Amino acid sequence: MLGLLIIIFTIGVGTFFFLNTERFGKHPSGDRLLKIEQSPHYKNGSFQNLNPTPTLTEGVSYGKVMYEFLFSAKPKTPTTTMPSVKTDLKTLNPDENVLVWMGHSSYFMQVDGKTVLVDPVFSGNASPLSFTTKAYKGTDIYTADDLPEIDFLFLSHDHWDHMDYNTLKQLKPKINKVITGLGNGAHLEYWGFDSDVILEGDWYDTFTFEDRFEVNVTPARHFSGKGFTSAKTLWASFVLKSPNTSIYIGGDSGYDMHFKAIGEKYGPFDLAILENGQYDLKWKYIHMLPGEQFKAAKDLKAKNILPVHSGKFTLANHDWDEPFKKINDYAEQSGIKVTTPMIGEQVNINDSLQQFKPWWNLKTTPK
């Protein structure tokens, strides 16, 4: 009995110290917390979605989800190196509007002369434990050294697969402005970011910049949290308006009425970047199911969908290539264009005729 108590005590102490390492960031406090408490979306000590949003679908338990994921689910993962190309981001023509997807929800954009980076994760995994949730072989082709100076870094929320401690520490010297939801600045300041570069917004806050650039922080249907506590920081999507382009940056979100409200207020959009992966009926309120991307795009009045949140990590029980196959099947029925580049492939944002091969069907080769 004494030995068991010692083991339990040791595990408890170890967990406590692990959860207090720098990688977990900091909860908002002081003036930042006072500002958060004024938000209409913050109630009873946590942020709330616009509509009731349980993390798991009614009748589903966390125990069942964990058991299935660990023991019974067998999602297909890539058996060989994923195909990719590596666009040199430092030598792009500054007059071109381009996007380069880096796997999962990380992507670089050059829009009307400004450089944009969204939810960068270059550390090889999406977890506080480096040996878990590892990137597929061949997907980590970009590092912080490959990035030019970044005018706008967007961080949609603080989950590990979107706000990566190691990547952000390495990128810090290159970042001019960070745009994120309320509370996330506490993490960033703890990691060494200057408060002057951090812009935190509530849903429907607007930031204006020189050269007629505008960013609107907009709702998403999701949640946040890096440790055992949840919803202390705000999750968000964004509307980026430049002199010649309008882009919706979706972050993580289940389908809901906010897409229509955003479309009516800010649409139409040249491009909507929407999550397409890590879905399951068991958590249908916080991630879109196959086909719902087209409902969202229609609500947003978007001409083109770029699907993300897939192709790099296994976070759900579907096969790695299923999201790409399904969204292309739905695209044939919808009439809305879907842009599916391989990792690193240059997307010309204003080229409505650009086509991409179904690279997920191509045979990959071991390296």
Residue 294 three-state SS: helix
pLDDT (mean) for 69-88: 90
Q: Which residues of 27-52 are buried (b: 16+ CB within 10 A; e: fewer)?
A: bbeeebeeebeebebbeeebbebeee
pLDDT (mean) for 215-231: 95
> Which pLDDT does position 365 carry in this prediction?
43
Q: What is the pLDDT of residues 24-69, one digit of tens each?
A: 999 999 999 999 999 999 999 999 999 999 999 999 998 888 888 7
Q: What is the pLDDT of residues 285-335, one digit of tens each?
A: 999 999 999 999 999 999 999 999 999 999 999 999 999 999 999 998 888
Q: Given a cut of 60, is residue 183 above it in pLDDT?
A: yes
Please say whether the beta carbons of 157 and 184 come within 8 A.
yes
DSSP state of 63: H
pLDDT (mean) for 145-153: 98
Structure tokens at 287: 């991630």
> H or E element: which one contains 12?
helix 2-19
Mean confidence (pLDDT) of the chain:
93
Report the alpha-carbon distance of residue 317 to residue 319 in Å, rounded: 7
CB atoms within 10 A of CB 254: 22
Residue 62 or residue 250, greater confidence: 250
pLDDT (mean) for 76-95: 95
> Which pLDDT does position 72 carry in this prediction?
80
Residue 215 three-state SS: strand
Kindly state the percentage of the chain with pLDDT values over 70: 93
Structure tokens at 361: 């069907």
Domains annotated on the chain, with CATH: 29-361 (3.60.15.10)
Q: What is the pLDDT of residues 97-127, one digit of tens each?
A: 999 999 999 999 999 999 999 999 999 999 9
Burial class (CB in 10 A: 0-12, 13-18, 19+), 23: middle
Residue 303 or residue 367, greater confidence: 303
Work out the pLDDT band at 192, boundaries 50, 70, 90.
Answer: very high
pLDDT (mean) for 268-274: 98
Q: What is the pLDDT of residues 199-210, one digit of tens each?
A: 999 999 999 999
pLDDT (mean) for 10-15: 59
Concatenated DSSP letters of 240-281? EE-SS-EEEE--S----THHHHHHHHH--BSEEEEE-SS--G
Residue 173's contacts (CB-CB under 8 Å, 6 or more residues apart) are: none
Concatenated DSSP letters of 127-192? SSSTTSSBPPTT-----GGG---EEEEEE---STTTS-HHHHHHHGGGEEEEEEETTTHHHHHHTT
